[in-house]
Structure 1
Amino acid sequence: MEHVLRPIYQERASHPDTLGVILINKRDDATNMTDTFDAVLLIIVKEGEQPIFTKHYLYGETKMVMHIVTEKRLRKWLFIGSNRKLVDWIFYGKVLFDRNEFLYKLRFELQEFPFYGRKIKTGIQFSKLIRRYLEGKEFFERGEYLDAYNHVVDSLHHLGRLSVIDSGLYPEVTVWSQVKKIEPAVYKLYEELVMSNETLEKRLELLFLASEFLINSRTHDGAQHILEVMLTRASWTIQELHDHEELSYYSTDLEVFVEYLIDKGYIIVEPVIAKNETIFHRNYCVDRRFVENEYGV
C-alpha cells in the first residue's frame, strides 16, 4: 500500500508545514480501526486553512483515505479523548515522514503521559461523567428507564476511561479490556448493568448508588485542573471560563461541572451588581479555605 500512496505523501512531506505522516493499514482482526478503509494516511500539519481535510482514493478494489489534521486539532482530540482511534494510529501506524522528530516526541509524550496531561484529561472526563450521571438520574426519577440506561452506560464509559488515565495510560479503543485489568470494581459495575437478570429499574437503582460513591471519591482529582486554573484569578464570569484556552476543552459540560463544584463547596457564587440594581451578575471564585483543606495550597 505504501508504494501506491508514495506520490501523495511525498508531495505533502515537501510542504514546510507538514510535521509528520503515518500510514495505517487495515488488519483482518480490526477492520473498524481504519473505518473500513484498506489504508489510512494521516498527515499532521502545523497550520491549515481547515482543521481537518479529508480525501478518498480508489486503487483497483482498494479504498484509501487521507486525513490532513492540524496540530491544534490533533492535541484537542488527545485531550478530550473524542477520537479514540487516533491514539492507536499514532502508536501503531507506520511513520513515513517525521520532521524534526515530531512524531517520535509525540509518541514519547503519550507513553510518558505527563502529570499535567493527566490532570486536564481527568478533568474533562470527570465533567462528562457528571453530566451523563445527573441527566441519567433525572430520567430514572421520571421513570424513563431506557433513556436512563443509555446515560448510565455512557457515564460508566467515562468512569472506565478515568480509571485508565489514573493508572498513567491512554484509553484505547478497547477501553473495557484495559479497565478489567486496572480496576475490576468498575468493570464489575458495567457487567452487572448489561448482563444482570434483575429488572432494568433495579439494575439502575443499584448502579446509581454505586456510581455516586465512586464519583464522590474521584471529585478531588477530577476538580484539580479547573480549580488550579480558577485560582489564577480572584473571580470569573462564566464567559471568561468558556473563553479560557484550557477550559474551552470542557465545552458544553463546563457549566454543569461548575454547578456541581458549587454544590460540593469547591466554588463560591459571587453576586456582582448589574446596571439594573435588582439583578446581579453571577461570578465564580474558588473557596480558598476549602481548597487549602483539600489540596494544601
Structure 2
Amino acid sequence: MEDILRPIYQERASQDNTLGIIKIEKKHKAATLTDTFDVILLMIVKEQDQPVYNKHYQYEDKKAALHIVTEQQLNEWLLLGSNRKIVEWLYEGKILFDRNDYMENLRIELEEFPFYGRKIKIGLEFAKLIRRYMDGKAFFETGQYLDAFNHIVHSLHHLGRLSIIENGFHPELTVWNQVKQIEPEIFKLYEELIKSEEPIEKRLELLFLASEFLLFSRTSDGAAHLLEVMGSQDLWNVDEISKHPEIIHYGVDFGLLLEYLIEKDFIQVVEVETKGHGLFHRCYRIRV
C-alpha cells in the first residue's frame, strides 16, 4: 500500500510548510491505535487554515487516513493530553520525511519529558482527578451509587495517569499496564473496586477511606504549577487567575481545584471591601 500512498506525501513533502511526516501501521492486536485503519499518515505543518485537516483513502481491501496537523495543535495536544493516541503515534510511527530533524528532535523531547512540561501536565491531571473524586463523593453521599461508581472509576484513571507523569513517563493508551508496574497500590485499589463481590456501596465506602491519603499526599505536587503561577503576584481575583495564559487550560476543573486547595490550607481567601455595605470581593493568595 505504501507505493500507492507515496504520491500523497511526496507531493506535500516538497512544500516548505511541511515539517515532518510519519506512517503508523495497524498492529493485529491493537487496531484501535489506528482507529481500525490499516495505515495512518500524520503530517505536521507550520500553519494551515484549520488546525486539523483529514482525508480518507481506499485501496482494494485496505483503508488509510491522512491527518494534517499544525505544529501549534500538536503542541496543545501534547501539553493537555487531549489526544491520547498522539504520543504513541509519534513513538511508533516510521518517519517518512523530516525537515531539519524536526521529528527526531520531537521524539527526543518526548523521551526526556522536560520537568516544566511535566509540572503543567501534573496540574491538569490533578485538577481532573479532584473534579471526578469530589463529584463521585457527592453522588455517594446522596445514595446515587452507580453515578458515584462511574466518577470514582474515572478518578482512579486520572490518579493512575498522574502517577505515570510524576514518574517521568507519558501515559499510554494501556494506562493500567503502566500503573501496575509503577504504582501497584493504585492498581490494587482499581482492581478491588471493579472486581470485588462486595455490594457497590461497601466497595465505594472502602475506596473513599483508602484514597483520602493518596489524594492529600499528592496535593503539594499536584498544585505546584498553580501555586507557582499565583506566586507571581500577591493577590488575585478569580477572573485574573482563571484567565492567566497557563491556568486557562484547567477549564471547568479550575473552580473546584481552587476550593479544594482552600480547604486544604494551600490557598488563603482574602476579603476586599466593595462599595456595598457588608459585601466583599473574594480574592486569593497562596498561603505561606
Secondary structure at 1:282 match in 2: strand
Instruction: Note the 1:201-280 alignment, pairs <5 A.
Output: 201-274=201-274, 276=276, 279-280=279-280
Show structure 2 runs of 5+ residues with no match.
none
Deviations along 1:227-286, one digit per CA (max 9) or x if unpaired, are 111111222232222322221221111111111111111112233344545543322221
Number of the residue aligned with 2:28 = 28
- C-alpha distance in structure 1 between counterparts of 2:281 and 2:68, whole Å: 43
Number of the residue aligned with 1:162 = 162
Number of the residue aligned with 2:11 = 11
How has the CA–CA distance of structure 1 residues 96 and 285 changed in structure 2, closer, same or farther, with 3 Å as cutoff?
A: same
Supply the RMSD in Å over aligned alpha carbons: 1.5
Deviations along 1:46-81, one digit per CA (max 9) or x if unpaired, are 222211211111122211111112222212221222
Number of the residue aligned with 1:97 = 97
Q: Is the 8 A contact 1:125 1:161 kept in 2?
A: yes
Aligned residue-pair number:
288
How has the CA–CA distance of structure 1 residues 277 and 103 changed in structure 2, closer, same or farther, with 3 Å as cutoff?
A: farther
Aligned sequence identity (%): 58
Counterpart amino acid of 1:176? W
Secondary structure at 1:245 match in 2: coil
How has the CA–CA distance of structure 1 residues 5 and 245 changed in structure 2, closer, same or farther, with 3 Å as cutoff?
A: farther
Q: Is the 8 A contact 1:237 1:282 kept in 2?
A: yes
Q: Is the 8 A contact 1:76 1:249 kept in 2?
A: no
- C-alpha distance in structure 1 between counterparts of 2:21 and 2:114, whole Å: 24
Deviates more, 1:117-126 or 1:235-244: 235-244
How has the CA–CA distance of structure 1 residues 102 and 274 changed in structure 2, closer, same or farther, with 3 Å as cutoff?
A: farther
With normalisation by structure 2, the TM-score equals 0.95
Number of the residue aligned with 1:292 = none
Secondary structure at 2:241 match in 1: helix
Deviates more, 1:61-70 or 1:150-159: 61-70
With normalisation by structure 1, the TM-score equals 0.93
Number of the residue aligned with 2:144 = 144
- C-alpha distance in structure 2 between counterparts of 1:225 and 1:144, whole Å: 34
Q: Is the 8 A contact 1:54 1:67 kept in 2?
A: yes
Show structure 1 runs of 5+ residues with no match.
290-297
How has the CA–CA distance of structure 1 residues 15 and 252 changed in structure 2, closer, same or farther, with 3 Å as cutoff?
A: farther
- C-alpha distance in structure 2 between counterparts of 1:8 and 1:159, whole Å: 41
- C-alpha distance in structure 2 between counterparts of 1:47 and 1:232, whole Å: 33
Counterpart amino acid of 1:68? I
Per-residue deviation, 1:11: 2.4
How has the CA–CA distance of structure 1 residues 60 and 266 changed in structure 2, closer, same or farther, with 3 Å as cutoff?
A: same
Deviations along 1:169-207, one digit per CA (max 9) or x if unpaired, are 111111100110111110000000010111100000011
- C-alpha distance in structure 2 between counterparts of 1:53 and 1:279, whole Å: 51
Counterpart amino acid of 1:246? E
Secondary structure at 1:43 match in 2: strand
- C-alpha distance in structure 1 between counterparts of 2:229 and 2:74, whole Å: 22
Counterpart amino acid of 2:230? M
